[in-house]
Amino acid sequence: MSMSPPHEVVERALAASRSDGCTVIVEDVSQAEVRFANNTTTTNGMRRDRRVVVVSFRLVPGAPAAPVGAAPTAVGVASASGDVDVEELVRTSEGEAARAGPAPDAAPLVDPSGPPGGGGGFDDPPVLTSPAVLDGVIRGLGDAFARARSAGNLIAGFATHGVESVYLGTSAGLRRRHVQPAGTMELVARSADGRRSVWSGAGSSSFDDIDVYAFEERLDRRLGWAHRQVELPAGRYEVLLPPDATADLMVSLSEAMSGRDAEEGRSPFSAAGGGTKVGEPLCPMPFELRGDPAEPGLECSPFLTTGASGTDVSVFDNGLPVGATRWIERGTLRRLRYHRAAAGRAGVDPAPPVGNLVLTLPGASRTLEDMIASTERGLLLTCLWYIREVDPVTLLLTGLTRDGVYLVERGEVVGAVNNFRFNESPLEVLAKAVEAGCTERALSREWGEWMNRTAMPALRVADFNMSSVSPAT
């Protein structure tokens, strides 16, 4: 590649800056993927991406001081991809800062003396993936397609691996680098008549732990379960959510945890009469919902980078250390997301988003298999799909079951059931949970493309609201 090393781009931009403060982010991405369907590969790609973000800060003399003690500051943000003309990008962001008023999220640039975080040195080159990472998968797929053809099945899916190398520098002297590998493998097997369909997915940072044959075995077992088909009506059922389905719901829950929305009375975490529900119990079981950059196997960036401010994140906070954050502890709401300025106004600690999400029930050790074995009658789900918020007051979500609903009777799977549309709130799911299993790595099928690092328990939930039948298979 003929482009400049990322750390040089950061330094050149900072040197070109004429503003009162400047933050520069370079995100360098290397990605490879194989997509397949109908027992053949379909689109196979690789790409090199790089985005440079320049944030310029301008002090606004005479404006009222920001509540958190930051000098009133205007901000301009500009970004571009490729071998960027850094000078032009800096001037663009400065031009925007020149015409902007004081930013409501103003806060001092992050102190560079904190823990460095990230791996390697700031001057190290970006880390690249290679199509070779997927060689084992491609070989395995060739065999899997042949077996599927002879069994009368169709396989579809996607395998992708990428590495994002992030470089962050500020005019306050902060320099950070973080390398984030991430991968996903998803496989769907369908009977040729389309009546039976099963899914298995996994997140992986290296693909060393991905074995296509093991995926096939899981899917074959479930296709076997589906030889007996049972039609059940809409209604309220006891369900077993496998860790992947729990992840679908908990990621939705996590995205609703805006501190500011809650304070303004427009969130499921707003307390009646004003204020937030922080400190209130949410569920009878002592669940813990956390993010932690040091979570084994789910490691993610120990500092914040963002190219755009939002309700709960701020470009002023770039470089802010991200630590272990317990959003829910012993079933009680403990934290909501805040950038520093909003946290200062609310009198709480800032809580930036964390790049992973873990739900645990302390002491839980049973597997999903154990939980099936102790089920008198219930529905075992596989994953959820097309999840959308219906009512933000209750965080009511709708969506579908997909690629595998099974009837469990007296401890055994006795057949496959039609799909359902559900209407449920993840808050209600936690409140109605009567059992949780051990926490293991899980992949949300709905949200996994951008929240790949989750670990969840299987949940047994009473009275899960299946609103109507879906004839989809």
Partner 1 sequence: MVSGGGPAELGDLPLEQVRTAALERAAALGCSHAEVRVERLRSQFVALRDGRVETTVDDTEVGVGLRVVRRGSIGFAATVDLHPDAAAGLADEAAGLADATAAALGRPVELADEPPHGEVQWSSPYEVDPTTVAVADKVALLDDWSGRLLGAPGVDHVAARVLAVVEDKHFADLTGTVTTQRRVRVFPVVEVVGVDEGSGTFESMRTLAPPVGRGWEYTAGAGWDWDAELDQLPSLLTEKMAAPSVEAGTFDLVIDPSNLWLTIHESVGHATELDRALGYEAAYAGTSFATVDQLGSLRYGSPVMHVVGDRTTPHGLATVGYDDEGVAGQSFDIVRDGVLVGYQLDRRMAVDNGFPRSNGCAFADSPLHVPIQRMANVSLQPAPGPGPGPTTEDLVSGVDRGVYVMGDKSWSIDMQRHNFQFTGQRFYRIEGGRLAGQLRDVAYQAQTTEFWGSLEAVGGASTYVLGGAMNCGKGQPGQVAPVSHGCPSALFRGIRVLNTRDEASR
Residue in 74, 63, 125 with CA at minimum distance from that of residue 98: 74
Query: CB 248 → partner 1: shortest distance, Å?
Result: 13
From the list 35-43, 173-181, 215-223, 343-351, the region that binds partner 1 by CB under 8 A is 35-43
CB distance 155 to 189 below 8 Å: yes
Residue with tokens 């090199």: 48
CA–CA separation, 400 and 466 (whole Å): 9
Residue 401 pairs in a beta bridge with 384
CB distance 92 to 100 below 8 Å: no
CB distance 398 to 467 below 8 Å: yes
Query: CB 381 → partner 1: shortest distance, Å?
Result: 14
Q: 271 CB contacts (<8 Å, ≥6 apart)?
A: 277, 280
Query: CB 396 → partner 1: shortest distance, Å?
Result: 4
Size of the site for partner 1 (CB under 8 A): 107
Q: Write the DSSP string, 105-143.
A: T--PPPPTTS---SSS-TTSPPP---GGGGHHHHHHHHH
Which of 67, 69, 101, 297 binds partner 1 (CB under 8 A)? It is 101
CA–CA separation, 134 and 200 (whole Å): 18
Which of 38, 206, 229, 367 binds partner 1 (CB under 8 A)? It is 38
CB distance 134 to 161 below 8 Å: yes
CA–CA separation, 138 and 194 (whole Å): 24
Query: CB 98 → partner 1: shortest distance, Å?
Result: 8
Residue with tokens 């389309």: 194
Q: Is 272 near partner 1 (CB under 8 A)?
A: yes
From the list 239-247, 319-327, 381-389, 436-444, the region that binds partner 1 by CB under 8 A is 381-389
Which of 109, 141, 202, 436 binds partner 1 (CB under 8 A)? It is 141
Q: 153 CB contacts (<8 Å, ≥6 apart)?
A: 189, 190, 191, 192, 223
Check residue 22 and report its DSSP letter.
E
Intra-chain end-to-end CA distance of the chain, in Å: 46
CA–CA separation, 150 and 335 (whole Å): 53
From the list 6-14, 43-51, 320-328, 407-415, the region that binds partner 1 by CB under 8 A is 43-51
Which of 6, 21, 76, 355 binds partner 1 (CB under 8 A)? It is 76
Q: Is 161 near partner 1 (CB under 8 A)?
A: no
Q: Which is nearer to partner 1, 344 or 437 (CB)?
A: 344
CA–CA separation, 7 and 123 (whole Å): 6
Q: Is 68 near partner 1 (CB under 8 A)?
A: no
Query: CB 460 → partner 1: shortest distance, Å?
Result: 16
Span 386-405, contacts to partner 1 by CB under 8 A: 386-394, 396, 398-400, 402
**Helices (runs of H) and strands (runs of E) counted in the chain:** 9, 20
From the list 11-19, 38-46, 320-328, 343-351, the region that binds partner 1 by CB under 8 A is 38-46
Q: Which is nearer to partner 1, 365 or 468 (CB)?
A: 468
From the list 154-162, 170-178, 280-288, 346-354, the region that binds partner 1 by CB under 8 A is 154-162
Span 217-236, contacts to partner 1 by CB under 8 A: none
Which of 15, 69, 81, 280 binds partner 1 (CB under 8 A)? It is 81
Q: Which is nearer to partner 1, 16 or 469 (CB)?
A: 469
Q: Is 125 near partner 1 (CB under 8 A)?
A: no
Q: Is 191 near partner 1 (CB under 8 A)?
A: no
Q: Which is nearer to partner 1, 119 or 142 (CB)?
A: 142
Q: Is 5 near partner 1 (CB under 8 A)?
A: no
Span 424-453, contacts to partner 1 by CB under 8 A: 425, 428, 432, 449
Residue 110's CB is within 10 A of a number of other CB atoms, namely: 22
Which of 73, 254, 305, 419 binds partner 1 (CB under 8 A)? It is 419
